[in-house]
Chain A
């Protein structure tokens, strides 16, 4: 097989418990976002647009939907002879069946997959972040700096820094210390969970980590500290732009609402960096006689005969006459019945809201979720 310069590995095994009933039957990377997409479309499209042509997706929690979704690699144009998206759930091996015990273990258990491609570099990504990034530029930086590992970082407000993994760097952005959620952060450079490793180095470190019974087999807790303690060169790669970890219902709602601002930093309209997703055969959307839409985004197949304001409507959503939808996210195939009032709510896919129902309120502390119970 031809040598692959940089292989992508997306960690997509997490449940995302704080997304409550949205992740009952699907893993967090498969959660809907932005009127049309699933969260994992972002790292996968970034890979496709950055020339990372072979991508392994490590799945574990409720992976049926996610596996079938990412396996159709033509969605992202990753279906040429030299490219592909490969689903890598835990598997039975001669020494037993091993769940992925941590983020690093997920990679360790797939060393054989990576070795097939004999890559020079491996790009480790998280499957549950919303952002657009050119990994080719990050790789160039990694090479220019002759780094052993390069970690993408985002400048966050210092008062919020204690929520993140913080990289402490010298004046040349060389990382000398990593602190997970520090109480008193020394820097505001938060790790985005995006790593470029030179594969030989990472492979060695992973095999060593495998032997350590006390290890959590985690990149942040074990692998990065190992690279630091063995005096490897760790570089911080500063990312400027929109990035969001949609870990809670409030933050999922918020990042959907971010898109309503016409000059939002994510800019899904940019034709030079498209986000690819499932191609659903649905007609355009229809605004009917009693329908009105302001400051919202609407996807194909929807039929609007009520009032929609400050909201995100996914595919094939129906808003019946007299219904009012405000500050809400309505996922695919949901129906909002006649004269229903929806405010500050996330409605999961395939939910039907009955006539005259009132859901959510303008002054609620948190966003309400309407989803099927487990």
Chain B
């Protein structure tokens, strides 16, 4: 058992997954045609033995409530454990006030009441797997005030744009922090996942409020970098930031390669989700599929190359799908050619003959659209 309160935080406005995010909050984004983003951080927490978890939602909470339910499918015990979905209770005068600090503040009594000495805070827009016990033990051993999970990357010129980068000294002590503008190749990316004592967390909420009502948790930490002892915990595994449509596409398509995805999907560290009781996928005589991942409940009779096929998708005979992502419930009619396209849930592509995007600018088809 992990002696920490788990807090799943919401992302700030540097995360902008245009299109997909118009219909649901970031934690509810469909991933690999089967998961929602929040499944990763939540499974990390429950697999680590964290049994008391608070999920903070910025907006549009319906899909989050529906997906998480009591949390039983994430192994959260309905008697001893607790999964709470939190949102600000006070009216928000303007979207700029919709910060994580304000949401924590309006639920402060539930944080105070949680009978755990530590808090582990992590957002859901970063996809990776980690054992939080290792981080907590490292934190306790290091005697730091705050431990920040950090991913060293050599992709910072093109990826992790807008994420916070950390400058570390040789003892992995955090010296300064700034947003990644894509200027350098090698950067240490903050995964915005923090371990600290609960008292310090409460102190930081207070401090943030006193400084500026627009402050986010990461602002107050950056602002007080010299005041507290902050250390980086280096995470070596793969991490995908889902902070833009291009990153969403890159993550999904890279994971169609089993050699990549097996770094994320380990039978001993299961990523759990809500089941929808769909049958296995049916391939017809004319199916031609390669380098792709396919969720359950699909009917495949067409050609699929290097794509992610979501649950319950129909690809008719003569349809061609290349470098694309089809979200659950999509239908692609016969003779349709899709390349570099992201088709949102339950859309039907049966009339337009061809849609072609580019690697950087995939075409996005709206949810439930008919084209």
A residues with CB within 8 A of B: 34-36, 74, 259-260, 262, 268-269, 274-277, 279, 281-289, 291-300, 303, 305, 312-313, 316
Contact = CB atoms under 8 A, between A and B. Distances in A.
A259 B283 CA distance: 11
Interface string B309-330: 1000000000000000000000
B279 A268 contact: yes
Given A293-B289, A300-B296, A283 B282 contact: no
B33 A297 contact: no
Nearest to B314: A269
Contacts of A305: 258
Given A269-B299, A281-B270, A296-B283, 19 more contacts: A34-B279, A269-B279, A277-B277, A283-B34, A283-B264, A284-B33, A286-B292, A287-B293, A288-B257, A291-B289, A291-B290, A292-B288, A293-B283, A294-B283, A294-B284, A295-B283, A295-B285, A298-B281, A300-B34
Interface in B167-214: none
> Which of B282, B285, B293, B309: most chain A CB closer than 10 A?
B282
B258 A288 contact: yes
B285 A35 contact: no
Nearest to A310: B285
Interface in B253-311: 256-258, 261, 264-265, 267, 270-273, 275, 277, 279-297, 299-300, 308-309
Contacts of B280: 34-36, 268, 297-300, 312-313
A294 B279 contact: no
Contact of B283 (A268, A275, A298): A298
Contacts of B272: 281
A312 B265 CA distance: 23
A285 B299 contact: no
Contacts of A287: 289-294
Contacts of B73: 279
Contacts of A276: 277
B258 A303 contact: yes
Given A262-B282, A286-B256, A295-B285, A269 B291 contact: no
A279 B272 CA distance: 9
Contact of A297 (B34, B257, B282, B309): B282
Secondary structure call for the B interface: loop
B283 A297 contact: yes
B72 interface: yes
B32 interface: yes
Contacts of B292: 286-287
Interface residues of B, number: 41
A277 to B, nearest CB: 8
Given A284-B32, A294-B285, A275 B279 contact: yes
Nearest to A283: B265
29 contacts: A34-B280, A36-B280, A262-B282, A268-B279, A274-B277, A281-B270, A281-B271, A282-B265, A283-B271, A284-B33, A284-B34, A284-B293, A284-B295, A284-B296, A285-B281, A285-B294, A286-B261, A286-B292, A287-B290, A287-B291, A287-B293, A291-B289, A291-B290, A292-B288, A294-B287, A295-B283, A298-B280, A298-B283, A300-B296
A295 B291 contact: no
> Which of B265, B273, B308: most chain A CB closer than 10 A?
B265
Nearest to A300: B296
A293 B280 CA distance: 13
> Which of B264, B271, B275, B296: most chain A CB closer than 10 A?
B296
A78 B292 CA distance: 36
A335 to B, nearest CB: 13
A292 B286 CA distance: 11
Given A275-B279, A288-B291, A293-B287, A299 B296 contact: yes
A34 B282 CA distance: 11
A294 B291 CA distance: 15
Nearest to B287: A294
Nearest to A77: B277
A285 B287 contact: no
Nearest to A315: B280
Nearest to B276: A274
A262 B277 contact: no
Nearest to B279: A268
Contact of B258 (A268, A286, A300): A286
A280 B285 CA distance: 28
Given A269-B299, A276-B277, A283 B293 contact: yes
A112 B124 CA distance: 51
Contacts of A282: 265, 267, 270
Contacts of B291: 287-289
Contact of A269 (B282, B286, B290, B309): B282
A313 B261 CA distance: 20
B297 A295 contact: no
Contacts of A300: 34, 280, 295-296
A242 B33 CA distance: 31
Nearest to A35: B280
A297 B297 CA distance: 10
A284 B271 CA distance: 11
